[in-house]
Structure 1
Amino acid sequence: MSALPNHVLVEWMSDQKLGSRELAELVNKAVAELTGRPGGLDDSNIRAWRSGRVRCPKSVQLRALEMVSGKSATDLGFERRTRSPATAPAQEEPPVLRRNLIQGAVAIAVAAATPAHAAPRRIGVADVERLQQRFADIVASDHRHGGQQTIEQQAAALSNEALRLQTGGAASQRVRGYLYASAAAFRSSAMWAAIDGRRYNSAIEHMREAQQLAEMSGDQAIKFRIWSHAGTMYRHMKRPADAAAANDVARNLSITRRDPMFASLGHARHAAIHATAADISATRRSFEAAQEAMLRADPDADRPMWMRAFYDQAELDSLALSAFMTLGQYDAAEAHAHRCLAALRPHMHRSRAITTSRLALTQLGQGDLEPAVASAMHVPKDAATTHPRVIEMLATVGNELRRKAPTSPQTRLWTEYARCLKGTGR
């Protein structure tokens, strides 16, 4: 009888955009971390797993694969080999799917795996700093890719890792507060990835857990982030009353009185919520307040890494672009789009793709077909084929072109380009 393909593994690799050679390299690196010797897998071994010719990898390879994927052998479609009673089952590790994340995650896992007979390990600031580096990796990945389920899964797994450290050893009250804040920060990143990917049910689940963790941490900045994200989530869900209520919680936190930059972000997001409710005057007032608060803010003040990484004049203009586009004021929206694109920092790949897509829609709203198509075609192909919000906006570009000018050269050009995009998408 011929072997049956491991469809579960094949589907997982496809979801994570991993080829056989790349997965082999990741597993080899994890084997080296476990044993001190490099693994010997190549792409032919992975193809044997995929085809079903190998029903289950060897124990150390399987353990390494579980560490890389964050899934058990059975969840990956393998039939686990029979274990002796003395062999402990493998523990699930966080899903680390990019090479620049695996070493840190393995280090955390090894540090947390204290034998039962040993004295409790002292959890200190170094453990928190290691988690903070992982958080920086998550934020950087979000700015590059945005909305991907892998980012959501990585962030959620690292939140759980921070909580496991809570029970893995003794720690001061201050360090425990840091650990809860780290867990809340990771969970809020999972929430944002789900929002950005239009997975609202998952986002709500992450939000609830993040809120509880933030309360236990007492960290005002992370509370602001979570409630501000909640306001954005409800705005995208077309629930302006809930959006305003959630964002009001963020805006009323004491951190907005201590630091005008937080106040600015609160006002800017509230302006976008007012636009969803079609309140033009309130939208303008809130953006004026956001701009005024940003001008008062000390640019060199000590702020959380996530805040420094994204909120600046470009983001304020991005929110204004979204708001005025919602209100149908396309000329004002286009002006903010150009300002945003001119000020965006190089690492803001996702934001640039979203802003360029919105720019195309604002130009189309003014009847400028040729600039609109040119803008839409400037959206990077990876974002145009993988980012849910960008895909949705570019589909709207095509629909509007066909509605406004079905036989125009610009419509034909975009239709052909979109067909090619679809052919290259995964």
Structure 2
Amino acid sequence: MEANRCLTEALGQSGFTQAELAEAVNDYLRSLGRDGTVSDRTVRHWLTGKTRWPHPRQRDALEAVLGRSVGELGFRPPADRRSPARTEDPVHRRNFLTAVTGTTAAVVPLVAARPYAVGTADVIRLRSGLDALTALDASKGGHEALERAALAGASEALGLQKRAASQRIRQRLFGVAANYTASAARSAMDAWESDRAHGHLNRALYLAGMAKDPVAELQVWNLHAMLALHRGEFSQAVHAGQAAQATAVTRRDPLFASLAHARTAIGRSSIGDRQDALRSLGHAEEALAKAGTDESRPSWLAFYGPAELLALASVVRDRTGDSAGAEAASHRALSAIPRHFRRNRALATLQLATAQLHQRDADQACASTAKVFALMRGNALPGRMRSYLGDFHRDLITLAPGSGLVREWEDRYRSEWSQAR
């Protein structure tokens, strides 16, 4: 018995798990008024080659869901049989295929009018749009167009849940809507629109509750902790970090627990609670060491790992009076943060400059800020980053009032800084 490599490849490229492929095939069959009886075991038989020629309706559904002919999917009829005529309406199959696969050109897919109940394929399609927004955010930072696109994705998910094929699909669509709304909140936060971000986060928390999705809940509390810090509400940042720690997903995946502890650590360091801040940071490091690297996790969490924890540790150490330790952590973070996380690299570089300035190494700090502008060249600086540069500028003036160094920094960067406003 030879494994079906063509189907394995198509499955990998589609992003489906075996269970999700089974559910998508069943959704398609139900859209035609037929029973959906495909199980995870059925898919396993297809993949292992135990089943070489599925039932005609299943073949039609596989073509529609995966966008390839049964021959391209590695299926062959027995030598003494000819392939039977299709029993399914080709127009319906083309419409379904367009809905499932025709989304790569747009960041957030448009809704096509479809006669069938909304199922797994729709959820996956919407998630692919969310992944595209997440990648854009990592590169450019949040901006108004991204926020609008995220809200459009949330609206689409909520519209589709009214036609969900099952309660499970309805909850998953609520979860996708929560993810999109959280993405909109992050963009508003990056643009320094804190009130708008706060409204989005409250909405996202409601949607995550409707979805009964602890991962979405943690995402929202993580962003609530960040927003509270930006607004100077440091006690609220601690409470939000603790709420993230209390979500169910932290008990089954230590990577989520690590992120929640790290957010709590920053909140505690901001209120001057040095001992508890370092304790929370230690918990974050311990949890991260236990996290597996082969777990399936949402794309919004891709930024978090050893490098990002070092960047967050730099913030904690700088705020607890250990600027030398903060500088060392920033250097280590920058050596490991992936290049495509441009916004995060720029923020980590700015934190490095801040730690250097707090050690009164103003020349080196100013040189480090030059790299911030270089990293973000070609894109407007997000409002949050401009605000942090303003904090750096004020600290620089305090350290060296009226010095030529301050004037040189202003002359060199005021134009770039102002153009980004």
- After TM superposition, the score normalised by the length of structure 1 is 0.70
Please provide the CA RMSD for this pair: 2.1
Q: Distance in 1 between matches of 2:202 and 2:260?
A: 20
Identify the residue that residue 357 of structure 2 maps to in structure 1: 364
Corresponding position of 2:327: 334
1:250 matched to 2:250: no
The answer as to whether partners of 1:148 and 1:197 remain within 8 angstroms in 2 is yes
Alpha-carbon shift at residue 284 of structure 1 (Å): 0.8
Larger radius of gyration: 2
Partner SS for 2:372: coil
Instruction: Determine the structure 2 residue equivalent to 1:176.
Output: 170
Q: Identify which range, 236-245 or 370-379, moves more after superposition.
A: 236-245
User: How far apart are the structure 1 equivalents of 2:207 and 2:303?
Assistant: 23
Q: Distance in 1 between matches of 2:175 and 2:401?
A: 53
Measure the CA separation in 2 of the matches of 1:198 and 1:423: 15
Q: Distance in 2 between matches of 1:421 and 1:228?
A: 31
Per the alignment, residue 390 of structure 1 pairs with 385
Query: Contact between 2:234 and 2:267, CA under 8 Å: does it hold in 1?
Result: yes
> Larger deviation: 368-377 or 389-398?
389-398
Shift in Å, 1:423? 6.4
The answer as to whether partners of 1:185 and 1:210 remain within 8 angstroms in 2 is yes
Deviations 1:316-348 (A, max 9, x none): 112112222333431121111111111101111
For 2:267, the aligned partner's letter is I
**What residue identity is the alignment partner of 1:131?**
L
Moved more, 149-158 or 346-355: 149-158
| Cα shift readout 1:39-67 (whole Å, capped 9, x = no counterpart) | xxxxxxxxxxxxxxxxxxxxxxxxxxxxx
Choose which of 138, 152, 160 in structure 2 pairs with 1:157. Answer: 152
CA–CA separation in structure 1 for the residues paired with 2:143 and 2:338 = 21
- Partner in structure 2 of residue 194 of structure 1: 188
Match in the other structure for 2:259: 265
Counterpart amino acid of 2:352?
L
1:400 lines up with 2:395 in the alignment:
yes
Matched-pair identity in %: 35
CA contact (8 A) 1:383 1:390 kept: no
Task: Give the Cα–Cα distance (whole angstroms) in 1 for the partners of residues 375 and 255 of structure 2.
Answer: 32
**2:256 & 2:371 partners in 1: Cα distance?**
32
Question: C-alpha offsets along residues 169-207 of structure 1, whole Å, 9 cap, x if unaligned?
Answer: 341222112111100100111112222222111112111
1:287 CA displacement: 0.8
Displacement of 1:377 after TM fit?
A: 0.8
Structure 2 alignment gaps of length 5 or more: 1-102
Q: Match of 1:359, as an amino acid? A: L
Query: What TM-score do you get using the length of structure 2 for normalisation?
Result: 0.71
Q: Is the 8 A contact 1:101 1:137 kept in 2?
A: no
Distance in structure 2 (CA, Å) of the matches to 1:303 and 1:170: 24
Q: CA deviation at 1:424?
A: 5.0
Identify the match of residue 380 of structure 1 among 357, 363, 373. Answer: 373
Which of 320, 325, 331 is matched with 2:318 structurally?
325
Secondary structure at the aligned position of 1:281 is classed as: helix
Q: Name the CA distance, whole Å, in 1 between partners of 2:173 and 2:160.
A: 8
Query: Counterpart of 1:351?
Result: 344
Name the SS for the 2:296 alignment partner.
Answer: coil
Point out where structure 1 has 5 or more consecutive residues left out of the alignment: 1-99, 115-119
Aligned partner letter, 1:229: L
Q: Give, in whole Å, the separation in 1 of the partners of 2:405 and 2:307.
A: 30
What are the superposed Cα offsets for residues 5-63 of structure 1, whole Å, 9 maximum, x if unpaired?
A: xxxxxxxxxxxxxxxxxxxxxxxxxxxxxxxxxxxxxxxxxxxxxxxxxxxxxxxxxxx
CA distance in 1, matches of 2:356, 2:348: 12
State the 1:395 CA deviation.
Answer: 2.6
Structure 1 residues 152 and 328, CA, compared in 2 at 3 Å: closer, same or farther?
farther
Alpha-carbon displacement from aligned partner over 1:79-131 (angstroms, at most 9, x marks no partner): xxxxxxxxxxxxxxxxxxxxx976364x523x1x45xxxxx532121111110
Give the corresponding residue for 1:70: none
CA 1:156–1:339 in 2, change beyond 3 Å: closer, same or farther? same
Residues 391-424 of structure 1: CA deviation (Å, up to 9, x unaligned): 1222333333333224544323312212342465
CA distance in 2, matches of 1:206, 1:195: 10
Q: CA deviation at 1:277?
A: 1.2
Q: Does 1:281 align with 2:275?
A: yes
8 Å CA contact 2:241–2:264 kept in 1: the answer is: yes
Structure 1 205/416 Cα, relative in aligned 2: closer, same or farther at 3 Å? same
Q: 1:157 to 1:293 in 2, by over 3 A?
A: same
Hey, what does 1:108 align to over in structure 2? 110
Alignment of 1:77-92 (within 5 A): none
Residues 189 and 384, structure 2, Cα contact 8 Å, conserved in 1: no
